[in-house]
Every structure is written in structure tokens, then in C-alpha cells.
A and B are shown apart, each in its own frame.
Chain A
Amino acid sequence: MLRYAPVVAIGRLVRWVARKRKPGGGAAIPGVVVNKLAPGFLGNTLNSFPQGLVVVTGTAGKSTTTRMLAAVVSAHGRRVFTNPSTANIAQGLTSAILAQSSFTGHIDSDIAILEMDEGHAAKLSAEAAPRVSILLNVCVDQVDRFFDPQLVTAMLSRVAQNTSETIVYNGDDASVVDAVAGVAAQKNSFVMGSHLRAQDIDKMGYARVSTAATSMPTVTLQSAEKKLASLEVDGHEVSVSLPSAGIHYGVDAAAALAASRSILGSDFDVALAVSVISALDPVFGRGETITVRGQEIDFVLIQNPTSYRLNLNSMAPNAECVMIAVGSDVRDYSYLWPVHMDHLEKVAIAAGPKAKEVAIHALYGGCVVGLVEPDLNLALEKFLALPTPLDGRKTLVFSADSMRRTRRYFGLAEQEAWS
């Protein structure tokens, strides 16, 4: 690894300069530079963990599942390297490595548990074979980027084919089931119980729902009422307290439990895993409450129609002070139209480059729309200047790009990696 010392030094220098120029920002730039100078660096580092690489991929739930899984494996005494949700593509992963590694690029951890964007996972898995891969779902998402659920299925299939030991897959999602069909690695699955499935499978947003029952699933989610989930792990019934209310968090917990059992083998302690997951905070960016200039603001990240829908539905309908900011990372706003805005009574500010599209969508949804302000920084100032609502909290809903810009504007640190 000594051969990477010069490039690590350059990457760190770039990181220092980027942070000096943009406090709290510029996190991806060192990754871009290093991947360009040393294309083998990322794959090499990912191959260097003694207990291998674990990849979590799919459309929705990557961040929550990765957080749960990393916490469980870490509680079992493994030193885990993991990445934040904002760094799940190649340049972000390299940046996360640079933030944690020694001067030679070595990371002193036993195992890497990383969430990866589907496209990057497919490509990277050829350079660094995952020991275990977790395939969550194929939802309709960012269609202008991936074109068709079939293409995403093909990406997951490549990850599955490159997996050396075990694939942990969602038995309810027909695209995922197709992606793992005929693959040589061992397969463990997680599913929703038949009662829950009949009632709520449509809420999951899968592009295709599997019609055949999965035989011998490793973990079954039996119920998820508010924040309490009941699961069956290898025939043992357990109750887990979820980080937030919602069936999708229950499915994430099922995926994390099935994955930890696959990774840890006979060392897996189900009681320990349950207590660790039950103690987790909501994932960064979602349901996070931040204090800005003395005001409490809920930060809510939307990454696709599914998370947009789930997040809007979990907000109080009469929330008085909601700002929605969508940036140019959403190339075409069309694909957010299946999300019905009628749950909310009012959008106080529509902001960001897609402000007008947000406002139009909200008006058609029957919401009252206050200001429309495409300049995000101006919108943020106007948002802070709004009177504090009765329940004390304002809510800021944003796309990933608007979230990064907001954090930067408020001088909040961008998360890099934690281990």
C-alpha cells in the first residue's frame, strides 16, 4: 500500500484546500482527484479489510440498513469502517477513506460495511468483490438516470454475481428475486409476513412485487406498529424499537438482522443485535433536528418518490412552517408527481432551482403555497425570519443537493466517515 502514499498526501492536501475555501463543504473533491490519479486506489483499499467488504445497495433504505448493520457488527467486537449516506458513490467513498486512513491509505478496521449507489456498486464489485452483499429493493427512482427498473435489476444482478460468500436479499421484491436467480453464492432472505404483506406491500414502492412465497426466509417482519416491530429471526420471535415509525424501517431492520447473521455466523447474538438496533437514532438527514441561530429545525432528506411520500405522510398535516427545497440534482421533477401532496395543508416556502415546480405540484395537491424563492440562500433567510410555529419547530424538506448547500450555508459540518 506504500505506493499510494503520494496520492493519499495529494488527496489530503486537496481536502484541506477544499475545506478552507468552502467551510463544511467540498467533501467529494479529494475523491474525484484521487480516483483520477490512482484509479486502482479505491478497489485496492476495499479489498484490504481482513474480514472483507459488505455492500448494501438498492433503491431505498440503504442508509438506515447500513447504520443498523454497522452498529450490530461493531457491537459484536468487530472494528467497522462505514460511510455516510452522502458518500455512496465512488468519489465519495474515496473521500471517506482519505478522511480515515493512514498516510499509506490503510484503514485500521476489520471489516468495511458500505452503502453504495446501485450503478457504482455494480461497477466497483468487479474490482472489489463483496464478501456479503445486501440487495434491498428496486423502486421507481430517478428514472432519468437509470431509465428503467430492468436496468437497475441488471446492476443488482452484477453485484450478486460478484459476491463471494453470501447474498442477503429481499424476497418480496420480484426484481431483486430475479437479480439473484441462478447465482452461485449462498442466499439468505428477508421478507414481510403474509398478513403484513397483504396489507401493506403497496406502500413499499417496489417496481414489481414477487408473487411466489420465499421458502425458509432468514428473517420475517411480522408487524410494524408505529415504532415497534415484531420479527422472526431463524424462528425466534423478537421485538425491535425502530428509529422512526414506518414499515420501511421495519424492513430495514429485517435486512440488517439477516445481514448481521450472515456476516457473523455462529458469533451472531440476536439479543445483542436487537438491543443495538433499538438504541439507534434516526439516520443523518432524516428526522434530524438541528438548532440554527437558536431555532429548532427538522431536517428531512428526500431521495426518491418513496422517501418523499413516506416523509410527507409522517409530518403533521397542519405543520405551519414547512419549506421544500429541490435542487438541480433532480433533473426532471416529473418523477416526483406520483407523490400526492394533499397530506400537507401548507408549504410556507418552495425553494431552490426547482422552486416553481415544487410550488405547482403543491398547488395541484391542494396545499396553500406561500413564497416561491429559487435562490436557496435567500429562501433560507426568509425561512428563519418566519414566526416560530406553535409547536416550536420548523421543517425543512430537501433534495440531497439542497441539503448539502443548506448545511454549507448554515456552516454545519458535512459528515464524512465514522468508524
Chain B
Amino acid sequence: MMRIGKLLPSLTNSQGDAENADALVKVLTWYGVDASLVVFEPGSHLESCNVYVLGHVTESDHATAQVHLGLWGAELVGYVSAGSVVLAVGSSLSLLTDVGLLGGVTAVRSERFVGDTVVEAETGLLWGFENSAQTYSCASDESAWGAVLIGSGNGDGTEGVRRRIADGLVLGTHLHGPVLVRNEEIMDEVIRHITKSDKTRVIAPEALRARELARENRAERIAQLRKS
């Protein structure tokens, strides 16, 4: 049984970021892998999960989220070192730097960026929507997801961060909402990591349809953005 954890969703679900956890459970189920969702709200005891999703935190909730995540910090680092994945979105990148899961530097942007972002990654083009007032500079043991073609991303021409910690994986992005749904390459990377298998056993026809629609939608949106 795979366990997908949602960290502090009541503080972090304003833009549909936390729903990446629900989407992961759904995809695993479509693939014929048993999976369940586990929610960790302030005050809960953190348990071992295969993936943890942490969404963007608004400014007013940032300090509260920092305190609660801080309480789980050591355990979270332990679970990640043992092989878990963390996906962090938007301002929560800075929460991960606080607990040592990311080693780069976050800074406040002079002006908030709101709009579509297109990234050229090794696997092809990634797309998402950003609403971000923060920049990120990767540390030497971290790599970005790719180069920004449209939009803003990390603020230095790259977007995203990927860091391996022992057997674990930390993924950070400024792309809001269902970033894994919109970008199947990242979804597959997470699933490959936790199932330790290169084969994605697609069984359900709705899984194929959802993937195909997402691929078409992304291609159309990128084409529109390139035209404008």
C-alpha cells in the first residue's frame, strides 16, 4: 500500500497545489497500485509516507506553517533519506529550506509574477501557472527542472528544483495547482521513484484519456502563449 501525505492542507490549499496528492492516489489506483491519502494537519503526528505534498502558503499563514513544519522537520528528513519524495509548491520552497530539505536560497521578488510559465526540460516542454513573489537559487547539489521559455520560474532563467537526499527525492516548483497532472513527465518521475519500476502499467482507460487530454491541453496552451 502506497501512502500519499498531504502536509498542512488547511494552510496550503488555496490554489489546488495540495490536490497533487489526490491526483497521485488516483493515478496509482489507475495503474493498479493500492494507494491511500493521509492528511497531516497542525498538531498531527507525522507518519511515514511514500510521497509528501506541500502546497503554497499565503503570507498570513506562513509563520504558522513554518512552526508546524519545523516540528516535523527531523522526522521528515529521516523519511526522505529513507526513500520518500517531497513535492513543494510556491512559497513552501522556503519552508523546505528551513528544515534543511532544500539547500538553495529563496528571496522575495521585487514584483509578484502572475501568469503562465513554460519550461524547456530534458523530457520536453513543461507548462503551469505561477502566482509567485519568491525567487529560488539552486544549491550546488541541486538541479533545476529546465530553462524558462515564457514566464518567470526561479527568477534566474531556470525553473524548479530537484535534489536527491540519500534514497529520497525533493521536488520544488513555482508552478501552481495540479502540476503533476499537467505534466505527466514529473508525475511519472515521482511514480518511478516510489514504485522503483520503469514500467507504468496503465490499466484504466480513463487514465489514458486524462493523460491525453492533459497533453493536448498543454500543447494548445503553449501554442497560444507562443502566438501572443
Contacts and interface: CB of A to CB of B under 8 A. Distances in A.
Nearest to B179: A334
Nearest to B27: A364
A356 interface: yes
Given A143-B15, A334-B16, A338-B13, A360 B114 contact: no
Contacts of A332: 15, 129, 131, 176-177
Interface string A182-221: 0000000000000000000000000110000000000000
Nearest to A359: B213
Interface of B: 13-19, 22-23, 26, 58-61, 112, 114, 129, 131, 176-178, 181, 206, 209-210, 213-214, 216-217, 220
Contacts of A372: 213
A140 B131 CA distance: 14
Given A207-B58, A366-B26, A335 B216 contact: no
Given A333-B177, A363-B210, A338 B59 contact: no
Given A147-B114, A335-B15, A364 B213 contact: no
A171 B206 CA distance: 45
Contact of A143 (B14, B59, B209, B220): B14
A338 B206 CA distance: 20
Contacts of A335: 14-16, 177
B92 to A, nearest CB: 15
Contacts of A333: 177
Interface string A332-376: 111111101000000000000000110111011010010010000
A332 B116 CA distance: 9
Given A147-B112, A331-B129, A372-B213, 20 more contacts: A148-B59, A150-B59, A207-B60, A208-B61, A332-B15, A332-B176, A333-B177, A334-B17, A334-B178, A335-B15, A337-B15, A338-B14, A338-B18, A338-B19, A359-B213, A360-B214, A361-B178, A364-B22, A364-B178, A366-B26
Contact of B209 (A144, A148, A357, A363): A363
Contacts of A336: 16
B23 A364 contact: yes
Contact of B177 (A140, A337, A366): A337
Contact of B131 (A147, A149, A208, A360): A147
A334 B17 CA distance: 8
A358 to B, nearest CB: 10
Q: Which 9 A-B pairs have the closest CB atoms?
A: A334-B177, A337-B16, A332-B129, A356-B217, A363-B210, A337-B19, A334-B16, A140-B14, A356-B213
Q: For this complex, into which size category does the number of interface residues on chain A fall?
A: 20 to 34
A140 B9 CA distance: 13
B131 A143 contact: yes
A349 B106 CA distance: 43
Contact of A150 (B60, B209, B210): B60
Contacts of B177: 332-335, 337
A360 B217 contact: yes
A150 B209 CA distance: 39
A357 to B, nearest CB: 6
Nearest to A149: B58
6 contacts: A144-B129, A150-B58, A207-B60, A334-B177, A336-B16, A360-B214
Interface string A17-40: 000000000000000000000000
A177 to B, nearest CB: 13
B216 A356 contact: yes
Contacts of A150: 58-60
Contacts of B18: 338
Contact of A360 (B176, B210, B220): B210
Contacts of A140: 13-14
B178 A337 contact: yes
A306 B61 CA distance: 20
A64 B19 CA distance: 30
A334 B129 contact: yes
Contacts of A360: 178, 181, 210, 213-214, 217
Interface string A74-105: 00000000000000000000000000000000
B14 A363 contact: no
